Amino acid sequence: GQNIDQPTEMTATEGAIVQINCTYQTSGFNGLFWYQQHAGEAPTFLSYNVLDGLEEKGRFSSFLSRSKGYSYLLLKELQMKDSASYLCAVRPLGGSYIPTFGRGTSLIVHP
Amino acid sequence: DAGITQSPRHKVTETGTPVTLRCHQTENHRYMYWYRQDPGHGLRLIHYSYGVKDTDKGEVSDGYSVSRSKTEDFLLTLESATSSQTSVYFCAAGTSDEQFFGPGTRLTVL
């Protein structure tokens, strides 16, 4: 089984940097996804980390430490439109390979 | 937009009635999934399919059945709807490395 933990809610200021953490415990790990979901909309893919380290995509970066069971999503130069839920999902090694989602972190960006 | 549509987008029904939700994709993805999303629970997998007529149960499959007779269509049926099945239902399709989600169906069971 898998246990995924991320904060329920975070707030930040426009223009700032915010880090959203995700910790996981799993019997077999393949990779970790981050999705963004605006209120009333579908989740959209942000990143998929398999190897340790930081991957950067514009204002968003995602970090993974397999040995620590830890990932974070880093959002720079925050904009009001970044207010959304951020979902962490762990893909198991073997079996169906279907990811299990955490409960999501609601990020509120204020002026 | 990954070419995934869901119908209906909104539905209100009564307890005990059967309900079928449809997911349609245009990208010929092998894998398709049905999730439900509820406050405090996040996205939970109901059923998934890894090919035509190949389906399997997810974490919360009780009270739901699925069918996939064509690559592009994945149907979710609530055999006898209950109030606990009031939720937002998301379909997804994709590869083993990436899932693309449909716009969701908001289902209310009275």
Query: pLDDT under 70 in chain B at which residues?
Result: 1-2, 96
Residue of A41, A45, A87 lying closest to B42 (CB–CB): A87
**A109 or A27, higher pLDDT:** A109
Residue A71: predicted pLDDT: 98
Q: Which tokens sit at A103?
A: 């409960």
Residue A94: predicted pLDDT: 72
Tell me the mean pLDDT in the region A34-49.
Answer: 94
Q: Which tokens sit at B17?
A: 């009635």
A44 contacts in B (CB within 8 Å)? 101
Residue A46: predicted pLDDT: 94
Tell me the mean pLDDT in the region A71-81.
Answer: 98
Q: Which residue of B has its CA nearest to A103?
A: B42
Q: Per the CB < 8 Å rule, is A87 touching B101?
A: no
Interface test with B, best of A2, A5, A38, A98 (most B CBs within 10 A): A98
Cβ–Cβ pairs < 8 A, chains A and B: 40
Q: Per the CB < 8 Å rule, is B104 touching A41?
A: yes
Tell me the mean pLDDT in the region A93-102.
Answer: 81
Residue A26: predicted pLDDT: 84
DSSP three-state, residue B83: helix
Residue A110: predicted pLDDT: 96
Residue A17 has pLDDT above 80, yes or no: yes
E strand spans, B1-110: 4-7, 10-13, 19-25, 31-38, 42-51, 54-57, 64-70, 73-78, 87-94, 99-101, 105-109
Residue B1: predicted pLDDT: 52
Residue A30: predicted pLDDT: 86
A31 contacts in B (CB within 8 Å)? 97
What whole-number distance in Å separates Cα of residue A23 and Cα of residue A70? Answer: 4
Residue B80: predicted pLDDT: 96
Counting residues of chain A whose pLDDT is more than 70, the rounded percentage is 97
Residue A1: predicted pLDDT: 61
Q: Per the CB < 8 Å rule, is B43 touching A101?
A: yes
Q: Per the CB < 8 Å rule, is B42 touching A102?
A: yes
Residue carrying structure tokens 């329920």: A8
Residue A92: predicted pLDDT: 84
Confidence tier at A95 by pLDDT (50, 70, 90): low
Residue B49: predicted pLDDT: 94
Q: Per the CB < 8 Å rule, is B103 touching A41?
A: yes
Residue B41: predicted pLDDT: 86
Q: Which residue of A has its CA nearest to B45?
A: A100
Smallest CA-to-CA distance from A49 within A19, A72, A26 is with: A72
CA of A52 vs chain B CAs: smallest distance (Å)? 17
